Chains A and B, each alone.
Chain A
Amino acid sequence: MSRERKVSWIHVVTFAFATAISYVLGVVSSLIFPVLGAPGVSALYVAAAIYVPLGVWMGMWGALAGYVSCFFLGLYPSGYSVIQSAVWSWADFIEALVPAVLFRLAVKDPDFAVRRPKAAKLMPLLVSLGTALLLVGIVVQVLWGAAYGEPFTTIYVYSVYAGLALSVAGILTGLLVGDAKTWGVYVVSVILASVFSGLWGAGTLTIVNFPPPLPKEAFWPVLVGWVIGDLIVLSTIGTALVVALTELFKRTGLYVEGWWA
């Protein structure tokens, strides 16, 4: 007989407290490591290391914590209007939604035990550097390569090849850290979460919002700052947290197997 899972107070309370922590860390990050000119955007957005792992542990509660903390961060101290903030905050919702979806579809019972610590240390470096190079290459090609050709095309080609090679090496190193399925899904989650949330976040700050607070010319600098910052935070602090706390979440019954319970 299957046990019916229901939302209980522990989910609601943990969500509320995690949102509070994310908000405080979001404020601190955007003040200490700002992407200048884009309030609320941080080159090292430490708050993501709370709600993204929470997406792995608690499914939609993590995504909701990301949305609410980002909404309040948008209002204070960033100073966005209530409508702009409500639209912009979906960036952090998406960021936690990606691992929540991937883990619920692919790995029901993740095992983050580290069997090769050296690989665990190397993986964040390779993934961050690789994806950052890939992104820089694409930006160079879109902004200048298409219009001017050489030497931008060569920069684009080398950046993309090097970035792709490093990212693939990062994913392969990730597979060596421990349980291949868990770590493979985790590395892919980190990359996709950073890119998708960066696209939504930078897009709603510069291109589509009511109205966008920044001019559209600022899209690329904000996107690059956002994605690289998230990659670094998620692959370093996020990884440390999933390794240290996943077992605790499972042991205490806080781990959510479905979407909400």
Chain B
Amino acid sequence: MPTILSELSGIEARNERYMSLHVLTKLFIPFSIALSILFASDLYSALTLVFVALALIVAAGIPLSSIKRYVVVIGSLTSFIAISLFLFARIPGKVLFEACLVRFEAEKGVFEWKLYITDNAVMYASVFVSRIFAMVLSAMLLLGTITDREIVWGLRSLGLPFGASIAVSLFFRGIRLFVSDFLSIREAMTARGVDFARESLIKKFALYSHALIPLLALMITRSYEVSLALETRGITPQSKAKVVYHRYGFSRLDAALMLLFSVLTSLYALGWMI
């Protein structure tokens, strides 16, 4: 059964033991890491979370090579954080590097814009970057281990009406449908003489914008077809499922993992309060 990450980017979690955990456990683990990030205020606690998340990703059998997809995100966030802290803030501490970029006499004093790097600013940036690593890994763990079918079953077993579970299911199916629709529209535009490779960025932006009108018109047609098919089955968005065909077992391992990660988050919260 493909996971959400596999639907979006083709990355599969391979460990069957982890994948057979109860959906609540698989939701709870990344959620508890995400909550712990809130309390990770120093470098060591943030790095511990990074290692915990990394260990879980390995345990779930998500290929570590998939982190490559997040390299741009982590790189741009890191550089932005460094720029923000070194160029737009003056964090006190032992000065490691200082360079004046702009200096002039303003009405109420001398205006100075400096590149100002202190040991505390570097430490502060490191905490942010480590938290980002933990954040990215927790998101990867969540999407890499939950399948869209589990979400749909989860919603049904919670007793929510068909409207909610079918909307979720259609959302995931819709992503692939509209990527293929968009490619068809793009091909149709190319067939009429548009050369996307040669156009400037602004022209490309305008061309892609034009593609949205047929895309939305197709969406309306498709919505009609799907909703008519649903109507003919005699169910309404408000109807609720009387029968659930699949039940998840909640094992001892599930209970142990939920307890373990509750303790982890509580420890982080305690450490933060003290």
Binding site for B on A (CB under 8 A): 7-21, 23-24, 34, 36-39, 44, 46, 49-50, 68, 75-85, 144, 147-153, 210-211, 213-215, 217-218, 221, 236-237, 240-241, 244-245, 248-249, 252, 254
B220 & A213 in contact (Cβ 8 Å cutoff): no
Beta-carbon nearest neighbor of B136 in chain A: A79
**CB of B167 closer than 8 Å to a CB of A:** yes
Q: List 28 A-B contacts (CB under 8 A).
A: A9-B227, A9-B230, A9-B237, A13-B226, A14-B220, A14-B223, A14-B227, A17-B170, A17-B178, A36-B76, A37-B79, A46-B212, A80-B135, A81-B37, A82-B30, A85-B139, A148-B111, A149-B106, A210-B34, A214-B80, A215-B81, A215-B128, A217-B85, A218-B84, A218-B88, A237-B212, A244-B213, A248-B217
Residues of B within 8 A of A148 (CB): 106-109, 111
CB distance from A204 to the nearest CB of B (A): 13
Partner of A12 from the list B89, B132, B167, B173 (CB cut-off 8 Å) is: B167
Known pairs A7-B237, A37-B77; A240 contacts B132 (CB<8 A): no
Pair A79/B107 contact, Cβ less than 8 Å = no
Chain A's nearest CB lies how many Å from the CB of B80? 2
Which 4 A/B pairs are nearest by Cβ-Cβ distance? Answer: A37-B80, A20-B174, A149-B107, A81-B34
Main SS class of interface, B? helix
The residue in B37, B74, B166, B174 that gathers the most chain A C-beta atoms within 10 A of its C-beta is: B174
Chain B contacts with A in 169-213, Cβ cutoff 8 A: 169-175, 177-179, 182, 205, 208-210, 212-213
Closest to B79 in A: A37
**Are A21 and B213 neighbours in the complex by a CB distance under 8 Å?**
no
Which residue in chain B gives the minimum CB-CB distance to A211?
Answer: B38
Q: Which residues of B contact A147 (CB under 8 A)?
A: 108
Known interface pairs A20-B177, A76-B9; A152-B77 also in contact (CB < 8 Å):
no
Inside 8 A of A20's CB, which chain B residues have their CB?
Answer: 170-175, 177-178
Inter-chain CA distance A57–B4, complex, in Å, is 30
Looking at the assembled complex, report how far the CB atom of A253 sits from the nearest CB atom of chain B, in whole angstroms.
10
Q: Are A79 and B135 closer than 8 Å at their CB atoms? A: yes
- By size class, the interface of chain B is 35 or more
Query: How far does the alpha carbon of A14 sit from the alpha carbon of B223 in the complex, in Å?
Result: 5
**Does B143 lie at the interface of the complex (its beta carbon under 8 Å from any beta carbon of A)?**
yes
Flag if B213 contacts A245 (CB, 8 Å): yes
* A133 CA / B46 CA spacing, docked (Å): 40
Task: Tell me if A79 and B139 are in contact (CB < 8 A).
Answer: yes
Task: Assess whether B69 is interfacial by the CB under 8 Å rule.
Answer: yes
User: B240 on the interface (CB 8 Å rule)?
Assistant: no
Q: Is the CB of A16 within 8 A of B76?
A: no
Measured CB to CB, the nearest residue on chain A to B231 is A9
From the candidates A21, A221, A241, name the one contacting B174 in the complex (CB within 8 A).
A21
Q: How far is the CB of B82 from chain A (nearest CB, A)?
A: 9
- Tell whether, in the assembled complex, residue B81 and residue A17 are in contact, meaning their CB atoms are under 8 Å apart: no
Q: Tell me the B1-53 residues at the A interface (CB within 8 Å).
A: 4-5, 8-9, 30-31, 33-35, 37-38
* Chain B nearest Cβ from A91, distance in angstroms: 18
Known: A20-B171, A81-B33, A149-B108. 9 other contacts (CB 8 A): A9-B226, A14-B227, A21-B219, A24-B178, A84-B34, A210-B34, A213-B128, A217-B88, A245-B216
Task: Report the minimal beta-carbon distance from B81 to chain A, rounded to whole angstroms.
Answer: 6
Residue from the list B85, B138, B174, B227 in contact with A81, Cβ < 8 A = B138
Q: Give the contacting residue for B138; candidates A12, A82, A153, A254; CB below 8 A.
A: A82
Distance, CA A102 to CA B166, complexed state (A): 30
